[in-house]
Structure 1
Amino acid sequence: MVLDWLRAEGLLQDVAPQAVLRVAPSTVITGFASVDLAGPGDASFWVGDTVKNETNANGFASSLLDSVRIGLLFAPRGLVPALEAATASGKEFAPGVGCIVPVENPYHAMVLFLEKFADSFAGSECAGDVTSGSFAGSECAGDVTKSARVHASAVVEGRVGENAVVGPGCVVMRGASLGAGCVLEANVTIYPNVVVGEDCVFQAGAVIGSRGFGFYEYEGRRRPVPHLAGVRIGRGCSFGANTVVAAGFLSPTTIGENCHFDSFVQIAHNCRLGNNIYMASQSGLAGSVTVEDDVELAGGAQVANHLTLGKGCRIAAKAGVTKSIPAGLTVSGFPAEEITVWRRSMVRLRQMGKK
């Protein structure tokens, strides 16, 4: 089915399948992930050793392909000589990859694949039945445990754990899962493929798992990136009113345990947060930021994409972080710098103004 679709999309045009296409008929694709996290049932893409693609992702060394196990891999057509050379020498290129599909643009091929097949990975369409304003337990994927309380105006298609509370106007979409003791106060939206640990609290208007703000160039125009990998949240976290956590692209946005977010906080796609993190109102993380344990961001602090905030560092109010911050450091200003250096700079600036 996948190969037929590839041909229909023109992704295999001008390609000699015997030379460049490895087909494993027994391979069953059940999901998708980045190359380093993918399993034998996953689809993924690889752009080559030196190529830096639109999201700075998957530019892994070719040596990684010798150890991974992937069901379907979109790869650049420049990979063909390596595949042919390995075959001629009696070696198997990327032995753990079931199907290798060389294409002109692996990233674009992966996007088309997700747009076509992602609904197949989102979970069952079955939902629980409404009984007196709450959901009765059932055997289908839309289970809501009998001890959970669900407001009559809420829409629940996912899983809701023991003693959880789903307030008025909330939506728990198909393929989402709430742990025991979670509380959704009002008008909270939980998108598909979001998994929430126990005892998490979401205040009014919080949105978890919405599509990230990402685009890529193809044939002269910008196209949206389908962020469908969802979100994973550990136990004991709290989310303020109108806080947004965007879904990841191929791997989920992740938040550890005991993390607390004020109102109007933005966490972009593919961010990875550790444990015991605090973010005050209007602070935000751009895409693919890594935040280690015990980090604090004061109100209005902003962090640029693909950076790392080291363990225990602190970001002062309104700071603009443009480079990674070492563990334990406190920074302020824009661009953010060590806070004592910033304070001295502010003193000198005021003194200059008095002259």
Structure 2
Amino acid sequence: MLDWLKSENFLCDNSKDALSQVVLKVAPSTEITGFASVDLAGPADASFWLGDSVKSETNSNGYSSALLGSLRAGLLFVPAGLLAQMASPGADFAPSVGCVVPVEYPYHAMVRFLERFAGELAENCGDAPFVAESARVHASAVVEGRVGENAVVGPGCVVMRGATLGANCVLEANVTVYPNVVVGEGCVFQAGAVIGSRGFGFYEYEGVRRPVPHLAGVRIGRECSFGANMVVAAGFLSPTTIGDKCHFDSFVQVAHNCRLGNNIYMASQSGLAGSVTVEDDVELAGGAQVAGHLTLGKGCRIAAKAGVTKSIPAGRVVSGFPAEDIEVWRRSMVRLRQMGKK
């Protein structure tokens, strides 16, 4: 793989994007079999770093430069601008990283890496197909993953290679479970649910918007229920996660890289944009929508049709668009109606 990095121009859009022929550091035993976000990447994982300085307190991807010393990625794409700093005396950049590769656009390099190795990563995704003897699988279902004890897989369902269903799970008709999805015990999926599909993510490169591959899958806890035709999208470098005893109505959207705690309830047509964190015991009423990269604090409630544009503290109840404290919103509605009567 490391020879391929040097010999091929895997960015290959034009000569300007050619991969630097200088691989700053290569550990002899480096072998890449997966990928992860930079803070979670291990010796067999590829990842990327966006910060343009090893001296800055916080880099542009939100990670402190102090993290560099603890990174353990097997392969790390970094901005080419770091080359001088890494080569300078005393700049011991990421000492535990196996291979450091400078490129002009690390994010684009990471995407191309995932595209190049998607097939190989899929082959390494999960164990061989397995269906427990006590499981019931409809004759029209396609099962290439693993199905646990007493699970039920209904007509027209697809469980792809690398997917794992825990004991006592129930898939009603036409449920699709993508690779790298792990479902805990006792979960129920109503008809048409889709778990682990590619998220709605794009990035701009050379004036063109390009799709982001979402291969990190989904992790689901125990005793959750998923309504008809709802979707949980796969993560980019780390999986989308859902805790225990979460319940979702029909037509709910959970986007890529969301992190949900336990005991969460989402009513019909509510949705989370990418990378939203939802703490325990949160409730979203019908049609409520949450913008990306926000946090809903423990126990907060989002009223029907609310549009959340900023993080909500624990225990708050909000309504309206943009969402605000529900008592403030109610007073505002009263004033508006009074103005209309004059």
Please list, as runs of the form range in 1=range in 2, the aligned pairs for 1:1-355 lying within 5 A after superposition.
1-5=1-5, 7-9=7-9, 11=11, 13=18, 15=20, 17=22, 21-48=24-51, 58-85=61-88, 88-89=89-90, 92-123=92-123, 141-355=128-342
Segment of structure 1 superposing worse, 41-50 or 282-291: 41-50
TM-score normalised to the size of structure 2? Answer: 0.93
Give the superposition deviation at 1:21. 1.9
Q: In the aligned structure 1, how far is the partner of 2:287 from the partner of 2:20?
A: 51
- Aligned partners of 2:315, 2:248: CA distance in 1, in Å? 20
Moved more, 92-101 or 287-296: 92-101
Q: 1:219 to 1:3 in 2, by over 3 A?
A: farther
SS at match of 1:122: helix
The CA distance in 1 between the partners of 2:10 and 2:183, in whole Å, is: 39
Give the secondary structure class of the aligned counterpart of 2:98: strand
Whole-angstrom distance in 2 between the partners of 1:83 and 1:92: 7
Q: Is the Cα–Cα contact under 8 Å of residues 35 and 58 in structure 1 kept in the other structure?
A: no
- 1:213-247 CA-to-partner distances (Å, cap 9, x unmatched) read 01011111110000110000000000000000000
Give the AA of the match of 2:108: H
**Alpha-carbon contact 2:6-2:21 (below 8 Å) kept:** no
SS in 2 for 1:43: strand
C-alpha deviation, 1:4, in angstroms: 1.6
Given that residues 32 and 38 in structure 1 are in contact (C-alpha distance below 8 angstroms), is that contact kept between their aligned partners in structure 2?
yes
Give the CA RMSD over aligned residues: 1.9
Q: 1:338 to 1:6 in 2, by over 3 A?
A: farther
TM-score when normalising by structure 1: 0.90
**Gap runs ≥5 in structure 2:** 12-16
Structure 2: distance between partners of 1:286 and 1:165 = 31
Instruction: State the 1:282 CA deviation.
Output: 0.2
Change (3 A) 1:183 1:10: closer
Aligned positions, number: 333
List, as ranges, runs of 4+ consecutive aligned residues in structure 1 with deviation greater than 6 Å.
none
Q: CA separation in 2, counterparts of 1:107 and 1:237?
A: 34
Quote the Cα distance in structure 2 between the aligned partners of 1:242 and 1:14: 42
Deviations 1:311-346 (A, max 9, x none): 000000000000000000000000000000000000
Letter in 2 for 1:70: A
Contact 2:265 2:282 in 1 (8 A): yes
Q: Separation in 1 of the partners of 2:125 and 2:234?
A: 20
CA contact (8 A) 1:23 1:98 kept: yes
Alpha-carbon distance between aligned partners in 1 of 2:74 and 2:124, rounded to the nearest angstrom? 22
Q: Which moved more, 1:23-32 or 1:343-352?
A: 23-32
Q: In 1, are the aligned partners of 2:52 and 2:82 still within 8 Å (CA)?
A: no
Shift of residue 125, structure 1, vs aligned partner: 8.6
SS in 1 for 2:244: coil
Equivalent AA in structure 1 for residue 155 of structure 2: P
Answer whether contact 2:52 2:79 (CA < 8 A) is retained: no
